A and B are shown apart, each in its own frame.
Chain A
Amino acid sequence: GAGVSQTPSNKVTEKGKYVELRCDPISGHTALYWYRQSLGQGPEFLIYFQGTGAADDSGLPNDRFFAVRPEGSVSTLKIQRTERGDSAVYLCASSLNYGNEQFFGPGTRLTVL
């Protein structure tokens, strides 16, 4: 069956611009997670959704980052006023319920010039 998909695969933007990153989870998975992976590091938790609600957003670095999942399926991670330090691979994962093994998408590589 279809796995987790993320679009775009690559995004290059200029400092100060706004970007949106999209995640399509596996159908039927109620939990959705966003992570950020910098070079040479493991994935770092950003936010997780159970259904439509953000159950834990403690990993969001500041208020420039925001994520939504309005219908409990597709999620969008939004970054305002991008900074060069935001450059990383943004990973999305989903699981049947919270705590089950997570299935990851291929990631979106964000480069802020």
Chain B
Amino acid sequence: AQSVAQPEDQVNVAEGNPLTVKCTYSVSGNPYLFWYVQYPNRGLQFLLKYITGDNLVKGSYGFEAEFNKSQTSFHLKKPSALVSDSALYFCAVRSQNSGNTPLVFGKGTRLSVIA
């Protein structure tokens, strides 16, 4: 079975500081990994994805994520946080090796960037 763990319900960071939102996953075979962001009263917005190749993936709004196969992690990072980055962030995974399996989401991490 596929699963995603986002161990932190809430992450607080000062504006201008680097931020990390953690994600670990469990999947059969190789993973497809995604990060989405949800702003209040808005749908989820795609940030970035890992399919294959370079372990460091760059996405929208200056975000990046690093795929670490040995640690089964895909942490989201940004070098310098903005107040406007405050939102709910979801990590998601599905297997590359099990046909058309559904995307499985984590519970989400609320990021609060303080001015």
Contacts and interface: CB of A to CB of B under 8 A. Distances in A.
Contacts of B106: 42
Main secondary structure of the interface of A (DSSP, over half): loop
A105 B44 CA distance: 7
Interface residues of A, number: 26
Interface stretch (B65-73, B79-87, B97-105): B97-105
The residue among A3, A58, A59, A104 with the most chain B CB atoms within 10 A of its own CB is A104
Nearest to A48: B102
Interface of A: 3-4, 33, 35, 40-45, 48, 55-56, 58-59, 91, 93, 98-99, 101-107
8 contacts: A41-B108, A45-B102, A55-B100, A91-B43, A99-B100, A101-B34, A101-B46, A107-B43
